[in-house]
Structure 1
Amino acid sequence: MLRRILAAIALAVAALALLFFVGPVYRIAPPAEPPALPAEAADGTVLERWIAAREAAHPDIVPGAEKTIVWAHADRRRTPLSIIYLHGYSATRQEIAPFCDLLAARLGANLFYTRLSGHGRAPAAMGEVTGDDWLQDASEALAIGRRIGERVLVVGTSTGGTLALWLAQQPEASSIAAQLLVSPNLGPKDPNADLLAGPWGAQLQQWLIGEEHRWQPANPEQAKFWTWRYPARALVPMMALVKEVRASPLEQIRVPTLVVYSPLDQVVSPQRIEDAYARLTMPARRLHRAAPGEDRSQHVLAGDILAPSGTAPLLAEMLAFIEALPETPASAATRAQAPLGTQGVSVAR
């Protein structure tokens, strides 16, 4: 009798385990077609107006968060190098500003700031988008970068770094001169977040988190330019994107890559960053451990809002990295400038 009871229990446990592992999983689908940009204009005016018109479809965008181009020249000409910035999850282009502006000025480059779908708007908008939308946003950003520059420098922070790693594996990656990943999100600090990317992830999100996720901004500027409360279901596509990129063949990326992170990061896992970096095999790569900064989470490592003292060191590190690359528009531009000092510890592997 006892043997039958134990067998029945074992069968029930096996059935429940099978039910769990065959449960629904949130999937990411790459864009089927390249972004359709407007016809080229010699001075970029058509492209600029097209971007503005598309952003105008969302009247709740926070001023200062919208997609925009910062031109190196008044006539909006194409430059040998352009920069695109991919901001992090729940953030906007103000995240590490003015870092990209300073980098663009040093390199004489046009600069495009994207705005990931759902971001920089009313909180409910975060719950309306998918991971597919963010891949489309990244593809569009690269296409715009290619339109405004002959070669593209990609800068991504946190989940923007995740998207940069995805872009570096696409056919268009041949146009990317280099990429800077600041605290790239290869997995949140909390390992339980991985559950959201597995079977029954959406259901577990409801059970573990509830309807809304919120956190406390560090200051009024972060409260303005970050979405600090939003539908918790928006966490599921973010984790699906992280899982997708983490499982991708990072070893095949050929884009020169600088990774800057803090071992004290309280938002994403430093170990996941180190593990992903160890898989990179391109000749031009560098892992830089940033010196402790002002950001209490040790995650946003530059920018006037959270880490103003980190901007100059990050700029110096990036300029030194691209200057050491074989002759490119970026390296040529940096060699024409006076060198800057650096802080922190660089580890070339």
Structure 2
Amino acid sequence: MPRRAILDPEVVYRGHPAPEPFYIAGNQTGVLLIHGYSGSPPEMLPVARYLHERGGYTVVGPLLPGHGTRPEDLRRIHWQQWANAVNYAYANLAAGCERIFLVGLSMGGVLALYQAERLTTDPDRKLAGVVSLAAPMYVNDWRVPFAPFAKYVIRWQGNRYTSLEEKTSVRDKAAVKELWSYLRMPSHAAHQLLVLMKQTRRNLATVSVPLLIIHSRHDTTSPPPSAQIIYDSVASADKQLVWLDNSNHVITVDYERDRVNQAVYDFINQHNG
């Protein structure tokens, strides 16, 4: 795993896990787990551990560029760097595994779909399936059309003085202790996320691998209709859409985490032939 920058003391949270990438060696089935916007690999650990313990899979959780250090680092990042980091992690995992599954939360789900689009003509065809967890395809905000210009005027989104409990979109507030994320984000980074969503949505019809989509009906961050957009747009003949009713956005740690873990495991186990 590549080394990351030293953490800014202002964004180290006592009692929360360090935002470190993870790798747990297992069998010849590899699972690449991609965290979300402003988040870090620990939000993917509950799923990763479950998959490794139940299926013996090799699980990897990279740290995306600009994340896990200090928010200012995201002011120099473009969406292609996130996509390239996923592609790099995929290539490393594929070098030692026979089959690969992509599992992404929120922006990580968008990146998983984007990677599947990139691999449409992959001669090795190691990609066996994609799991999209609460991935957004658009944002419910009237300010979105002005994002390319607003980033020069309003440089930050969020409040550095809020708490992680207040900022995080989960119903189970006790689960926040398992997470690490920034409290504020550069407007530049928000614009990059919008561009990534647009690029990915434009090419969804090229995705033909088996696909599992899991989304909460009560997601206050990623609009629930995004799940149906993905389902209707991909070319996959084998696709499933699972709705949650007692979770918010970070469904990997919320009240229905066990259902999420089981659904992801069942999907991978079903397509691991």
Q: Same fold (TM over 0.5)?
A: yes
Contact 1:96 1:300 in 2 (8 A): no
* In structure 2, distance between residues paired with 1:315 and 1:84: 15
Name the residue aligned to 2:79: 131
| Cα shift readout 1:157-193 (whole Å, capped 9, x = no counterpart) | 0000111111111234821111111001211232532
* In structure 2, distance between residues paired with 1:109 and 1:223: 22
* In structure 2, distance between residues paired with 1:194 and 1:299: 23
| Cα shift readout 1:290-333 (whole Å, capped 9, x = no counterpart) | 1213xxxx111122xxx1x32211122123333444x61xxxxx
* In structure 2, distance between residues paired with 1:222 and 1:193: 31
Q: Which structure: larger Rg?
A: 1
CA drift at 1:222: 5.9
* In structure 2, distance between residues paired with 1:236 and 1:110: 33
Name the residue aligned to 1:83: 31
Any idea what SS the aligned residue of 1:301 has? coil
Q: CA RMSD in A?
A: 2.3
CA drift at 1:224: 6.5
| Cα shift readout 1:66-103 (whole Å, capped 9, x = no counterpart) | 2231123xxxxxx2201111110000011143111111
Question: Which of 253, 263, 272 is the matching residue for 1:317?
Answer: 263
| 1:101 partnered with 2:55 | no
What is the TM-score normalised by the length of structure 1?
A: 0.67
Amino acid at match of 2:196: L
| 1:153 partnered with 2:104 | no
Any idea what SS the aligned residue of 2:60 has? strand
Name the residue aligned to 1:59: 6
Distance 1:224 1:259, change over 3 A: closer
Question: Which of 110, 125, 131 is the matching residue for 1:180?
Answer: 131
Amino acid at match of 1:272: S
* In structure 2, distance between residues paired with 1:234 and 1:135: 14
| 1:241 partnered with 2:196 | yes
* In structure 1, distance between residues paired with 2:190 and 2:46: 28
Runs of 4+ in 1 over 6 A off after TM superposition: none
| Structure 2 gap segments, 5+ residues each | 166-172
What is the TM-score normalised by the length of structure 2?
A: 0.84
Identity %: 21
Aligned residues: 252
| Structure 1 gap segments, 5+ residues each | 1-50, 73-78, 329-349
Name the residue aligned to 1:344: none
